[in-house]
Amino acid sequence: MKITLCQCNPLVGDIFGNASRCCELLELSAAQGADLVVFPELFLQGYPPRDLLDQRWFIRQGNEALARIAAVTEARPGTALLVGTALPNDLPHGKQLYNAAVLIEAGKMVFFQPKSLLPTYDVFDETRYFDPSREIAVYKFKDETLGISICEDAWNDELLWTNRLYDRDPVSELANRGATILINIAASPFHMDKENLRASLCRSHAMRHHLPFIYVNQIGGNDELIFDGNSMVFDGSGNLRAMLPAFTEAVVTVDTRAPDPVLKLPDFDTAAAVRDALLLGIRDYTRKCGFSKVIIGLSGGIDSSLTAALAVQALGRESVWGVAMPSRYSSEGSVVDARILAENLGIRFSVIPVEPMFTAFLGALSPLFAGTAPGLAEENLQARIRGTLLMALSNKFSCLLLTTGNKSELAVGYCTLYGDMSGGLSVIADLPKGMVYTLSRFINSEAGKELIPESTLVKPPSAELRPDQTDQDTLPPYPILDAILHDIVEENKSLDDLVAGGFDRETARWVGETVARSEYKRRQAAPGLKVTPKAFGIGRRFPVAAKYEW
């Protein structure tokens, strides 16, 4: 059977635009002799549509789009289409909506399989919207019997997990019901090193059931989430027969009766994958939100330098504007480094000294600040002036402002609300400080030249809001901070766990308490692109007004 894998990038909410893409690729694939054309999970709505699913008009549009697709298949009776969509059901209670895979052939919806396992963890919240499937069925199509599952349905393989989240394995049920081909349509977001895990999962199903396993994943950036594609096909012996490229649209036809040669699973490079994920995230967030240009505050530091370099690779140098805003505490080297970076990247560069405004603010506040010692309030005025200037330029020239804080800083609140946190997208918000340096050096290495100045890479990080300030005046050394944060945020470890692991108790306690105390800042932060298994934002939901011992 010739099956076309459509690894495509839907626009969330654009049901009729996504449906048109289905019809276009159906026509093209049918002309090339495809028997079945397969699209990802919830492709018609785009994943994740979130509370759009609560709107009746939105569900009605999905049904209308299915009818339009059916009309196209009627003219192509030899080619069927499988697509993910939100499908109403007639259950007497519950959400009355399925996350379904719908098979359309010769003008009719001939079969549908709802998703059985609805993830409700990390960034997923599917029980908020959908009912789980009560039954699992297969469908005879031409000379094969299709076993169709949706994303999470394939993630409960008992051979891979010691602690399974669900009491059933839909893929095994499909195999036991006589499926001859297993197809999983997915919207599986990227995080570091997930590619190997997915490949192991798909291979395990193929080998365990001695059946071809076809996996079709979405690509694209939708808000914080980035979908990497990496769709793949394994034969019944667990051999990789096809693998679609990462982070790009691809349409590939495979013939399960005359399979392609056996492929070697690629060696996934973490730095390259994170770079490509962030590029796709920047590009899609900017484009899908209606912007064509971005603006960045350039401090001469590593975070803003990396953000600018990524923005140039994602959007082109003509679409990036860097602005330096020195104050009385800015070193001459910082302004020089910002200028060199801008020259290396070939971007527009402007300098706006903030000293006159800072002096004016201090003068206006002096009657009220009288008798108090200078401190954070005065330091943060500089950051807030910079945020105001950048937002003014963003507003005036319709540029998306990219914020430049990293995960380590956001974790412990080493950032200023309405200052350096101002903006529409936080590009490196999920990169620990150590990964910021790794990715910066990787970008220079890939370019074969110094895009990010070496002086930026080697100087001690500093907010430059007071004389001779460095980050390590306030924070533990970044390697220690990053390691503690990993254990707290991604591994959910307690203080005693951290001490047992070799960390100093007082350092670990300070980090944990500061993470909790800074939740109110992160609640007001711009969306951050997710590249680790556990990011701040929609996937980590902690209370603000709370007190707890950890």
Pairing of strands 139-141, 225-228: unpaired
Can 289 be counted among the known catalytic residues? no
**Dihedral Cα 314, 320, 326, 331, nearest 10 deg:** 50
Distance in Å from the first CA to the final CA of the chain: 56
The span from the CA of 329 to the CA of 8, in Å, is 49
* CA–CA separation, 281 and 247 (whole Å): 10
DSSP element (H, E) containing 81: strand 80-88
134: Cα separation from own chain's centroid: 31
Indicate which residue of 8, 22, 115, 409 is catalytic: 115
Q: What DSSP letter does each residue of 403-459 carry, written as one string?
A: E---HHHHHHT-S-TTTTT-SSEETTTT--HHHHHHHHHHHHHHHTS-SS-HHHHHS
- 347 sits in the region (left: phi over 0; alpha: psi -120 to 50; else beta) called beta
49-54 contacts: CB < 8 A, separation 24 or more?
49/12, 49/13, 49/86, 50/125, 52/12, 52/13, 53/86, 53/97, 53/129, 53/130, 54/129
Using CA atoms, how far apart are residues 196 and 266, in angstroms rounded to an integer?
9
Supply 365's token pair. Answer: 């506040």
CA dihedral (410, 411, 416, 419) in degrees, to 10, reads 10
Number of DSSP helices (H) and strands (E) in the chain, helices first: 16, 19
- HSE-up of 153 (CA within 13 Å, CB side)? 30
Q: State yes or no: is 433 an active-site residue.
A: no
- Closest to 184 (Cα-Cα) out of 163, 161, 209, 159: 209
Which is the catalytic residue, given 22, 41, 95, 415? 41
Give dist(CA 350, CA 347) in Å, integer: 10
Q: Give the number of residues written for the chain.
A: 550
Residue 147 corresponds to which tokens in the numbers above? 């076993």
- Compute the distance between CA of residue 99 and CA of residue 203 in angstroms, rounded to an integer: 25
Place of tokens 């602005």: 323
63 φ/ψ angles, rounded to the nearest 5 degrees: -65, -40
Beta bridge partners of 348: 321
CA distance 465 to 382: 7
Active-site position among 151, 202, 399, 415:
151
Q: Based on the residue annotation, tell me whether 115 is a catalytic residue of this protein.
A: yes
Kindly list the catalytic residues: 41, 115, 151
